């Protein structure tokens, strides 16, 4: 196991709603990245947080936002859900200066109806 946990495991929402996904990083890891994995695709980078600040973002609209807390936990928030937001959302934690190896959680499966 990687020590990275995500909650909830599964979630069903309707279009237009808002959702918050949670991630608990491996102890001591100061960086968390979030990825969206559509069915049959590779993970797509959403953004990364380092020491509670966003320090990189992929090609996702502003309705995707995040937070990182001092206790190594983090959140991914998605507003105004669209059907295409249905996917597996993965977080990965890493430690800057230790090879930046990313360890993934098991993900949250989000279904938007």
Partner 1 sequence: GENVEQHPSTLSVQEGDSAVIKCTYSDSASNYFPWYKQELGKRPQLIIDIRSNVGEKKDQRIAVTLNKTAKHFSLHITETQPEDSAVYFCAASRGGATNKLIFGTGTLLAVQP
The span of 19-27, 39-47, 67-75, 79-87 binding partner 1 (CB under 8 A) equals: 39-47
Supply angle C-alpha 88, 21, 18, rounded to 5. 100
With contacts defined by CB under 8 A, name the span among 11-19, 60-68, 69-77, 104-112 that binds partner 1. 104-112
Does 45 contact partner 1 by CB under 8 A? yes
HSE-up of 30 (CA within 13 Å, CB side)?
A: 9
Residue 44 near partner 1 by CB under 8 A:
yes
- List residues binding partner 1 (CB under 8 A): 2, 4, 31, 33, 35, 40-45, 48, 50, 55-56, 58, 90, 92, 94, 96, 99-107
């Amino acid at each position: 196991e990687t020590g990275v946990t995500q909650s909830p495991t599964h979630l069903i929402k309707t279009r237009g709603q808002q959702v918050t996904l949670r991630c608990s990083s491996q102890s001591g890891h100061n960086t968390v990245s979030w990825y969206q994995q559509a069915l049959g695709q590779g993970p797509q980078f959403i953004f990364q947080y380092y020491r509670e600040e966003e320090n990189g973002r992929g090609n996702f609209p502003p309705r995707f936002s995040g937070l990182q807390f001092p206790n190594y936990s983090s959140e991914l928030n998605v507003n105004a859900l669209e059907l295409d937001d249905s996917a597996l959302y993965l977080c990965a934690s890493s430690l800057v200066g230790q090879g930046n190896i990313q360890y993934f959680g098991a993900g949250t499966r989000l279904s938007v109806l």
